Structure formats: structure tokens, C-alpha cells
Structure 1
Amino acid sequence: MNSHFLPKVIKWTCFRTHSVYTSSQSWNLSRVRSSHSDSPQGAPSSDSEVKICNGVQNPVHEGLRVTIPTALTLTRVAAIPVLVTGWYWSSSWSTGLCTTVFIAAALTDWLDGYLARKLNQFSAFGAFLDPVADKLMVATVLILLSTQPIACGPLTGNHWLVPCATLAIIGREITMSALREWAAALGPKARGAVAVSSWGKWKTACQMISLTLLLSIREGGTGLLAVVGGVAGPILLCMACFLTLWSLYLYIRQLWPYMT
């Protein structure tokens, strides 16, 4: 009797296992279809993308992919230790190295966004990392410039200018990060109120150009570059500070109805 009973138990167990697996795969497939039916046609899902595996569609988290734009963003983060090393490197190449690394980082900031749109390669991880890489690079350069007074142009004798700009810019970025995190919990309208605006783009442009000029003249000099950088660098840095604080005021004004 046991010789007939054991095969029946094995057959029944295999049948139940196959049934549970099939039903779970059907349930996962229906979840993927329903989630994609809620999103606009052709728009990539922010939570998952559909992959074909053994004839079954399974959601795979999109943020785990390292796309070409994300790889460029990662190189921008990796360039920060190189820039810091070049800053403290006692060599005639030190200033040129720091300036070149910062210019390359600024170019990759534009290039990764262009490639993401051109190649249609978007990921949640890339969207998170891109602004973080920008802020880390800018904050690093501002802190380094604050540690070494620049005796060139209007900065001669006005060593307070760069440290004050550093406090204003870094303080604004910390405040904006807190505002965006708070707005994300309030809903789509509040998130839209703190979306990137044209003021923020102009602010970023002024920051990149001014910091490039200030890096190039950090050791002073009397040539044409020192004259142009010594005048244009501080002016653009002041413009960046103004746009930094002005854009913060505009964001707070848009979010004010949610605060009262």
C-alpha cells in the first residue's frame, strides 16, 4: 500500500507547486500590466521596467541599471578626490589640473542630460545622483577657495567675499533639499512648486563660470587671464549668490500656502 501511496503524494505535491507558481506569475503579470496602464503611453515607469525572462514578464527595478548618462555622473563624483588632490599638490601643474577637472565636470553635467534625452536612457538612480554630484562638486570647490585667499582683482583685501558666498550657496542647497523632501510628502502640486526653474539654471551657469575663473587665478598673477578672472570671477560669483537667494525666495513663496 505504501508503494502506491508515495507516488500519489509526489504527484499531488508537484501539481500544487506548479499551480501556485502559475498563479503567482499571473498575479505579477497583472500587476505590471495595471501599473503600465496607469502611466502615459510610451512613458517609462519610474518604479520598474518590464523584462522578458523565460516567456514571463517580470518587473525589474529601473534604478539598478547603470546607463551611459549615469556612468558620466559617476565619473563626476569620482573626479572630486582628484580635484582635492590637485589642490594640495605642490606643483606648477596644480592650478591647471584643478581647473581642467572642474571644466570637465561641468561639461559632463551638460552631456549626461543630453545623452539621457537623446538615447532615452532614464533611471531613478541617475535622477537622484545627478543633482547630488553637482552640489558635491560645487561645494568642494567653494570650500577649497575659502581656505586660500585670492590676491587678484577685487578679491585683493576682500577675503570675506568667497567664504560668505560659500555659506550662502551651501546653506541654500541644504534648505532646498529640506523643502523638496517636505514638498514630496504633500503631493504632486507641492512637488511641482519646487521643480527646477530657469532661475536655478542661470544660477548654476553663473556658479560654474565664476568658479572656473576663480580656480584659474587662485595663485594670482598679472597676465590677461588674471585680469579678466580677477574682475569677472567675483562679479559672477556675486550674481550667483543673488540668484541663489532669489530662487530660494521664489520657491518659499510658492510653498507658503502649504506652510500656513
Structure 2
Amino acid sequence: MAARSWTRSRGAPRGRFGSLPNLLTYGRILAIPALVACFFVAGDWGRWAAMWIFIAAGVTDFLDGYLARAWQQQSALGRMLDPVADKLIVSAALMMLAADGTIAGWSLWAGVIILCREILVSGLREFLGTLAVSVPVTRLAKWKTVLQMVAIGFLLAGSAGDKIWPYTTMFGLTLLWISAILTLYTGYDYLRAALSHVMSEDD
């Protein structure tokens, strides 16, 4: 087993365009048009297909990081594209759910909070990167991401899932609000880190 792992690590392209972790990230980006297309399919089939595409994308999100570390294939390209792919597919899913009315009324605010936080964190990371300052992802932020992905998965099942379990949509909306609350808190951590460096530079 050890010899096989060593061979795979040495034989696979390390930090290159075609490495497996990067291919998984590309696949997550390419899944976005397929996810959106599912909302134009009449009937329950489109909802179930959208849910499974999103679940598959979530699995690749875990696998690309795990394999990059395990096979020592971490690259600048992967570090750049991975968070971009995550934000794109989450944003696309939330917008389509809002467009078809699954997320409506007050629940739209939960989606707005999540989207605004993603934009805020991207800007703050870019700013902190110019200062050579890294802000590690906290455990709470990881839990927020898990809850957010689960919430969107339930909401993608939506009306089709309600036929099997009547509380599918309601459960998804509840998790979405919990994710939004955690989003505010974790987003504040990034903002506080950025402001502390701004204040120290001004002094």
C-alpha cells in the first residue's frame, strides 16, 4: 500500500494544469451550467438532478483539497480556482432557487447575507494578500460551509423532496438561516483582521 501511494505521488503531475485535484476543480466549475439547466427541466427530474450535481460538486470540493495535500500536488492555480469554484456554484444555486421561488420573502435575506459575505471575504483576502497576511479558515467557518451546502442540497430537492418528506424545503430554509447567522459572525472575523492591519499601518 505504501509503495502504491509513493508511485502514484511520484507519477502524477505535481502542481500542473492537468493534475487530478485541478481537474476536479475544473469539473466543479463546468457543473454550474448543468446545474442551472436543470431548473429549466419540467417535473421532479430536474430538481433531483440539480441536487445530485450539487452533491457531486461538494464531494469534489473535499477530494481536490485532500488529494492535493496527500499527493503533494498543491499549486497556485489550485489555490486560486478552488475558492472561486465554490463561490460560483453556491451563487448560481442560490440565484436559481430565488428565481423559481424556493427562496422567497424573508428567506431572501439569508441568501443575500451569504452572497454579500462571499464577496466581502474575497475582497478582504485579496487586500490581506497584498500585505502578505493570511487568515486561516476557522473551524466555525468550516461548519458554516457544511451547513450551507446541506441547506442548498435540501432546497434544490425542494418540491420534489417535499413529496417524500413534507419538511424538505422547510428544513433547507432553516439551515440556510443558521448558515446566514454563522456567515455574519465568520465574516466579521475577516473584517476585524483586515481592520486591525489597516489601523496598525495608519499608526
1:66 partnered with 2:5: no
2:176 pairs with 199, 214, 237, which one? 237
Q: What is the distance in 1 between the residues matched to 2:109 and 2:160?
A: 20
Larger of the two Rg values belongs to structure: 1
1:22 corresponding residue in structure 2? none
Task: List runs of 5+ in structure 1 lacking aligned partners.
Answer: 1-61
1:113 partnered with 2:52: no
1:217 is paired with a residue of what secondary structure? helix
1:168 partnered with 2:113: yes
1:93 is paired with a residue of what secondary structure? helix
Quick one: which amino acid aligns to residue 151 of structure 2?
A: S
The answer on whether the counterparts of 2:15 and 2:73 sit within 8 Å (CA) in structure 1 is no
2:6 corresponding residue in structure 1? none
Deviation, structure 1 residue 195:
2.5
2:4 corresponding residue in structure 1? none
Q: What is the distance in 2 between the residues matched to 1:258 and 1:118?
A: 33
The answer on whether the counterparts of 1:73 and 1:108 sit within 8 Å (CA) in structure 2 is yes
Q: Deviations over 1:218-248 (max 9, x none)?
A: 4573432x32x23321121111101111001
1:221 partnered with 2:162: yes
Q: Which has the higher helix share?
A: 2
2:188 corresponding residue in structure 1? 249
Alignment CA distance shift 1:92-1:216 (3 Å): closer
2:129 pairs with 184, 187, 190, which one? 184
Q: What is the distance in 1 between the residues matched to 2:19 and 2:73?
A: 7
Alignment CA distance shift 1:220-1:100 (3 Å): closer
Q: What is the distance in 2 between the residues matched to 1:109 and 1:77?
A: 11
TM score, norm. by length of structure 1: 0.67
2:37 corresponding residue in structure 1? 85
The answer on whether the counterparts of 2:93 and 2:152 sit within 8 Å (CA) in structure 1 is yes
Q: Deviations over 1:111-140 (max 9, x none)?
A: 111111221111110111111101100000
1:148 corresponding residue in structure 2? 100
Query: What number of residue pairs does the alignment pair up?
Result: 186
Q: Which has the higher strand share?
A: 1
Quick one: which amino acid aligns to residue 254 of structure 1?
A: A
TM score, norm. by length of structure 2: 0.84
Q: Deviations over 1:25-63 (max 9, x none)?
A: xxxxxxxxxxxxxxxxxxxxxxxxxxxxxxxxxxxxx86
Q: Which runs of 4+ in 1 moved over 6 A?
A: none
Quick one: which amino acid aligns to residue 232 of structure 1?
A: F
Identity within the alignment, %: 37
- What's the Cα RMSD here? 1.9
2:150 pairs with 203, 206, 209, which one? 209
The answer on whether the counterparts of 2:159 and 2:169 sit within 8 Å (CA) in structure 1 is no
2:162 is paired with a residue of what secondary structure? coil
Q: What is the distance in 2 between the residues matched to 1:128 and 1:219?
A: 36
Deviation, structure 1 residue 110:
0.7
Alignment CA distance shift 1:63-1:122 (3 Å): closer
The answer on whether the counterparts of 1:83 and 1:101 sit within 8 Å (CA) in structure 2 is yes
Greater RCO (Cα-Cα under 8 Å, separation 6 or more): 2
The answer on whether the counterparts of 1:207 and 1:237 sit within 8 Å (CA) in structure 2 is yes
Q: What is the distance in 1 between the residues matched to 2:112 and 2:163?
A: 29
